[in-house]
Amino acid sequence: MADSAQPALRYLVIVNAAPQSSEAALSAYRFATALLDQGHSIEQLFFYGDGAHNASAVTVMPQDEPNLPALWHALIEEHAITSTACVSSAIRRGIVDETESNRHELNAITCYPSSEIGGLGQLIAALDSAERVISFG
Amino acid sequence: MAKRPLTLIARRAPYGGDGARQTLDIAFAAAVFERDVRYLFIGDGVYQLLRGQDTAGIAAKPHVAALETLELYGIETVYVLKSALNERGIEPSELALAATLVDEAQLQTLIEGGGPIINL
């Protein structure tokens, strides 16, 4: 629960780094977990640029390394977080849902269903409803 | 209630990474959704504003050409940290956009002016 001296806050969390090439995405995940543990909420999780890889359902990691996309997927489901991967970032990186897969005739779905593929309008809309904005990467 | 302005901080050089373009795309989206944008250029971000960028050899579109369309989106001035220009030997006359030059104290005032900040 939130500290009684600190009101619960709604966050917009922007993840702009891939899980595999820097610590930023892992830091974002840890931050998200910590703020939820403390009673705050995530108004919008937004995967942007290389961050789109965090929504990849086809990432395979060695067993002794964290599979961040799988961790995000579980966290998003558990807390019913609104999660969006930027469409122009995602399709460049092969992260597609059924709609984008059909649109581009790709014969593959690679995005976790817990994240939607959406536009920057989602990010801009969340600026109005979130009380804090933080970006990683 | 009027929407609070969105402050964007551009601090990366235009090529070699996609941070510059990502920040610009957010500016366009914000403008389309009728939100005021304060676009600040600091550090290597000032390189984005140089006129005459020739990208023929690097399979990239000239970033400055995209920045020049900001005016069409109602973003008529950008803020540039004077010391970032000085440190890089860039004269204000080399910038392609109408820029308001600011010192550190003015930059701080802009950043503290309320509203969300995105710094990619």
CATH number, residue B68: 3.40.1260.10
Would residue B61 count as lying in a domain?
A: yes
Would residue A76 count as lying in a domain?
A: yes
Residues 6+ apart with CB under 8 A from A64: none
Would residue B1 count as lying in a domain?
A: no
The whole domain housing A94 covers 10-57+67-136
Give me chain B's average pLDDT, please: 94
Q: Dump pLDDT digits (tens) for A51-81.
A: 999 999 999 999 999 999 999 999 999 999 9
Q: Dump pLDDT digits (tens) for B17-46.
A: 999 999 999 999 999 999 999 999 999 999
Per the structure block, which two tokens stand in for B74? 């109602």
The whole domain housing B14 covers 6-119
Would residue B63 count as lying in a domain?
A: yes
> What ipTM was predicted for this assembly?
0.90
Q: Is B25 on the interface with A (CB under 8 A)?
A: yes
- First-to-final CA distance of chain B: 28
Confidence of residue B120 (pLDDT cuts 50, 70, 90): confident
Question: How many separate domains does chain A show?
Answer: 1
Question: How many separate domains does chain B show?
Answer: 1
Q: Is the model more confident about B3 or about A97?
A: A97
Would residue A2 count as lying in a domain?
A: no
Q: Is B117 on the interface with A (CB under 8 A)?
A: yes
CA distances from A56 to A18, A115, A122, B28, B92 (A): 10, 9, 19, 27, 44
Which of A49, A120, A130 faces B29 most closely, judged by CB atoms? A120
User: Are B120 and A49 a contacting pair at CB < 8 A?
Assistant: yes
User: Are A49 and B26 a contacting pair at CB < 8 A?
Assistant: no
User: Are B116 and A119 a contacting pair at CB < 8 A?
Assistant: no
CB count in 10 Å sphere of residue A61: 13
Q: Dump pLDDT digits (tens) for B51-106.
A: 999 999 999 999 999 999 999 999 988 999 999 999 999 999 999 999 999 999 99
Active-site amino acid positions of A:
86
